[in-house]
Structure 1
Amino acid sequence: MKTSTIKDPAIFLKTATLLAKEFEKDAAERDKVGGTAKVQRDALRKSGLLTLLIPTEYGGEGQSWSLVLQIVRELAKTDAALAHLYGYHFLHLVTPHFLGSEQQKKHYYTESANNNWFWGNSFNPIEPTLIGTREGDRVILNGHNNFSTGSQDSDRLLILWVENPGEKPYIGIIPTRREGVTVHADWDGIGQRQTDSGTVSFNNVVVEAEEILDTSKSNGTAFATFDAILSQIVLANVFIGSAEGALEKAREYTIGKSRPWYLTEYEKSTDDPFMQRRYGDFWIDLQAGVQLVEKAGKKVDESWLKQRKLTVEERGETVLYTGAANAFGTKVALNITGNMFELMGARSATRKNNFDRFWRNVRTHSLHNPIEYKRKNIGHWFLTGEFPIPSDYS
């Protein structure tokens, strides 16, 4: 078994920054086309960034969630879709860790490190439409799942199914190219257009016994409900990173191309005090958002290290910070990405510039988990002291 010393996180962050700059070159055009960002996904494979969270004893880099989240934010500055895929890769990869058996945790970490797997999902806990039928120790799957993020070009799929409607779901992991699995290129969201979040259909797909996550030891633990924490903080960083990227694009455009309003006497639009005040507001809100996602990331680090010793109270405290980061990040990102056009001017609102992709990306995914319910959950805790009830989204 491979062991190694923990590398300086700055090495990986530098790699991510260079990748983000490369992705930026054609991000606007790729957004128009949609589909699978195959070249960019392969660049992530070659970068060494897909094994960051895997412990060193299983062949990985042994890095922290906060570093992964920082990289998600860095990638989102130029390409929110790839940032989303990267963050959710780890959400799927670590599921055997917080939900499965020790043997499954070891197996999937080791195999993923050895084979540099890129993980996707076919996982819809709200509307399970994939049905499993027992055949001895195996399960035969028929049906489909929507919103299968990262399914195209993935190496492994985290999947969810039910045996009977209304009963508890089962979770498993299979090769994406298994016989009977069809990944459809039918994702048509207005944003996040290269997340490959379409439909996956299953026709007599076999799931072996060892591929079904064994939850007998994790059931009832706070750690077993860690998936909602991870998904919310990943997306919070996608939102804040998108806002950072959008604000920088708006600044460049305003300095280089915007004209002062013809009824003013300013020679440059940047001399306009109203323009300065609005940009000041954007920057202030963004700094608050960055600080909140970073604080939430540290809380995630602390809770993750406790594993099955994590208490209900510790989980609840982490949820408060990740939920707040997600809600505030959504608010800040929608404000900046939607209103920056007022500062750049009419000529900025063209398909050629495609600046609206920043807003479309944030708007698309923020709808999957309305911030009003996060606000309500946090307000309920503040008034009663009762932590949010664990669910797929809280």
Structure 2
Amino acid sequence: MALHTPYRHPALDTLLPILSESAARRDREGGHAHEEKRLLREAGLLNLSIPRLHGGDQLSWVQLYQQIRTLATVDSALAHVLAFHHLQVITVLIYGDATQQADLLVQTREQGLWWGNAMNPLDKRLIATPSAGGYRLTGAKAFCSGTRGSQWMTLSAHVDGQAYPLLAIVPTAQVRQRDDWNPIGQRQTDSISVEFIDVFIPHEQVLKQPDVPPSALHTLRNCFAQLVLVNLYLGIAEGALSAGCTFIREQARPWITSGVDAREDDPFQQNRVGLLDARIAGAAAAADRAGEWMQRAYARGSLLTLEERGEVSLAIGQAKVLTPRDQSAGQSGAV
């Protein structure tokens, strides 16, 4: 496995202390992080996944996920929103034809457009009815991360009599937004519900017709989404360890039976910090390895086989085992 020095986007480095200063307060208050999303947009961070052909940065998938992970160290909600924006860009790259990609991604870059989504596959309430020149959409979708403040949305909808969902895009302004996101933590992911009331979408906005079975390449979108979660968890862990080390250096005192006077010399604290650091390093290596598998699979394009796609899924599964686990536990459950 190749070792990487994590890529850090210069603009993101500039923003981290600004976002960190207000992150805890904003998470308590919830709502929409309009000003912070403006900062991300003006820093050019919406262009990281857009191909150079369309004027974007075209980071490798490993580098892209490293930016999400870095942002999650200080604000996992904003990292979630930014990651889901790029997930929708990737959806256009995987499902869209050359004309759709050029039109939508150049618009995204030139106008600084945010993408949201209504692709929740477990929510099948959205119905698409064939109509002259396209489809009419009626119904609702929940957990639509990144919807508030977005200009475009991806969506999946059920078509009567079809085995596969319709995948399409729609201007966010055409849907009714429900401000019903009330979670514990990550209160600014804009993961609201949306309602479609007889919304017409032309065939030009359809990414995949419902009679087209998904290819191995198509199913990489699911892998992209799962690897987003891996890197969000990992960024949260890295941020927690960094904050803990700062607390030890600046405020903690050595344990009364440690036999040392300096807090940083406390063997109990050293043991805990060392275990967490080792586990995070292992999880980061697994996450980057999964990103490399993803990059190779994506590069195969239409030639990607189901077996190769399966290898990507296994690599992501390995990383998922490591990243969301209780990082506070020792080797035997406690230290």
TM-score by length of 2: 0.90
Q: Distance in 2 between matches of 1:217 and 1:44?
A: 38
Contact 1:296 1:321 in 2 (8 A): yes
User: What residue number does 1:374 align with?
Assistant: none
Q: Does 1:91 align with 2:92?
A: no
Q: 3-state SS of the aligned residue for 1:203?
A: strand
Identify if the C-alpha distance between structure 1 residues 319 and 162 changes in structure 2 by more than 3 Å, giving closer, same or farther: same
Whether 1:152 aligns to 2:148 is yes
Which of residues 321, 327, 331 is equivalent to 1:335?
327
Structure 1 range deviating more: 123-132 or 223-232: 123-132
Q: 2:185 aligns to what SS in structure 1?
A: coil
Question: Is 2:190 the partner of 1:196?
Answer: yes
Q: 1:25 is matched with which residue?
A: 21
1:27-47: per-residue Cα shift (whole Å, max 9, x none)? 110110011111111111101
Identify the residue that residue 218 of structure 2 maps to in structure 1.
Answer: 224
1:94-128 CA-to-partner distances (Å, cap 9, x unmatched) read 21221233332333222222322111112221121
Q: Which residue of 1 aligns with 2:116?
A: 120
Count of aligned residue pairs for this structure pair: 327
Q: Is 1:138–1:206's contact at 8 Å kept on the other side of the alignment? A: yes
Change (3 A) 1:158 1:262: same
Structure 1 243/102 Cα, relative in aligned 2: closer, same or farther at 3 Å? same
Tell me if structure 2 keeps the 8 A contact 1:129–1:144: yes
Give the direction of change, closer, same or farther, for the CA distance of 1:282–1:138 in structure 2 (3 Å limit).
same
Secondary structure at 1:204 match in 2: strand
- Give CA-to-partner distance per residue, 1:264-298, whole Å, 9 cap, x none: 65434433322221111111111111111111112
Higher strand share: 2
1:110 aligns with 2:110: no
- Contact 1:93–1:109 (Cα < 8 Å) also in 2: yes
CA contact (8 A) 1:131 1:142 kept: yes
Shift of 1:327: 2.2
* Counterpart residue identity of residue 191, structure 2: S
Secondary structure of the residue aligned to 1:224 is coil
Partner of 1:15: 11
**Structure 1 position 311 matched with structure 2 position 305:** yes
- Tell whether 2:43 aligns with 1:51: no
What's the offset of the Cα at 1:23? 0.6
Is the Cα contact below 8 Å between 2:12 and 2:71 reproduced in 1? yes
Task: State the distance in 2 between where 1:13 and 1:230 align.
Answer: 20
Per-residue deviation, 1:82:
0.9
Give the corresponding residue for 1:169. 165
1:307 counterpart letter in structure 2: G
Where do 4+ consecutive residues of structure 1 move more than 6 Å?
Answer: none
Within 5 Å, give how 1:179-194 maps onto structure 2.
181-194=175-188
Taking the aligned partners of 1:213 and 1:166, their CA distance within structure 2 comes to 16
Contact 1:17 1:75 in 2 (8 A): no
Determine whether 1:140 maps to 2:132: no
Q: C-alpha offsets along residues 118-157 of structure 1, whole Å, 9 cap, x if unaligned? A: 1111222112111222222232222211100000001111
Q: CA separation in 1, counterparts of 2:64 and 2:97?
A: 24
What is the aligned-residue identity percentage?
Answer: 31
Q: Show CA shifts across 1:275-327 (max 9, x none).
A: 22111111111111111111111221121222112122221111111221122
Conservation of the 8 A alpha-carbon contact between 2:216 and 2:304? yes
SS in 1 for 2:139: strand
- Contact 2:163–2:211 (8 Å) recurs in 1: no
- Residue among 235, 249, 254 paired with 2:248: 254
Query: Secondary structure of the residue that 1:188 maps to in structure 2?
Result: coil
Q: Are the counterparts in 2 of residues 129 and 145 from structure 1 also a CA contact under 8 Å?
A: yes
One-letter code of the match for 1:335?
Q
Contact 1:101 1:215 in 2 (8 A): no
1:66 aligns with 2:62: yes
In 1, the alpha carbon distance for the partners of 2:322 and 2:292 equals 17
What's 1:239 paired with? 233
Deviation at 1:261, TM superposition (A): 4.1
Per the TM alignment, residue 220 of structure 1 is displaced from its structure 2 partner at its CA by 4.7
Residues 98, 218 of structure 1: 8 Å contact kept: no
The match for 1:302 is 296
Q: Which residue of 2 aligns with 1:322?
A: 316
- 3-state DSSP of counterpart to 1:223: coil
Which residue does the alignment assign to 1:214?
208
Residue matched to 1:375: none
Tell me if structure 2 keeps the 8 A contact 1:150–1:195. Answer: yes
Q: For 1:277-288, list aligned pairs within 5 A.
A: 277-288=271-282
TM-score (norm 1): 0.77
Instruction: Tell me how far apart the structure 1 counterparts of residues 200 and 55 of structure 2 sit (CA, whole Å).
Output: 29
Contact 2:163 2:210 in 1 (8 A): no
Aligned counterpart, 1:293? 287
Q: Alignment partner of 2:233: what SS?
A: helix
For 2:308 and 2:211, the matched residues in 1 are separated by: 19
Q: Deviations over 1:334-365 (max 9, x none)?
A: 42499xxx99xxxxxxxxxxxxxxxxxxxxxx
Please report the RMSD computed on the Cα atoms of aligned residues, expressed in angstroms. Answer: 2.4
